[in-house]
Amino acid sequence: MFSHVVIFWTRPEIADATEQLLAGAQKYLQPIPGVLGYHVGKMSPSDRPVVEQSYQVALNLQFASKADEQAYQVHPLHIEFVEKVFKPCCQKAVIYDFE
């Protein structure tokens, strides 16, 4: 199993950036072959100070292997997501990949 976690910070000047990001992930990323597990959502507020809460959206994808995740990275739908959704809506992303 290979997990690909992306934490997104949206552009505050775009009022519906979070909604655009959620819809774009659903449209472009979920259908990519090799994605075994897909979960995207808004940051969930917490009273615990140890919980990071400065981001707006997180994406968690699971693949059978690192090779499958690498194929996902160059898939045309992923590239379209980056160009049409990520670049216009986000100011920053942090990625965590682990096996």
CATH number at residue 13: 3.30.70.100
Contact 88, 10 (CB under 8 A): no
Categorize the per-residue pLDDT at 22 as very low, low, confident or very high, splitting at 50, 70 and 90.
very high
**Counted domains in the chain:** 1
Residue 97 pLDDT: 98
71-84 pLDDT per residue, tens: 999 999 999 999 99
- Rg over CA atoms, the chain: 13
Q: By residue range, what is the domain housing residue 69?
A: 2-43+52-98
Location of structure tokens 């096996």: 99
What span, in angstroms and rounded, lies between the C-alpha atoms of 22 and 58? 9
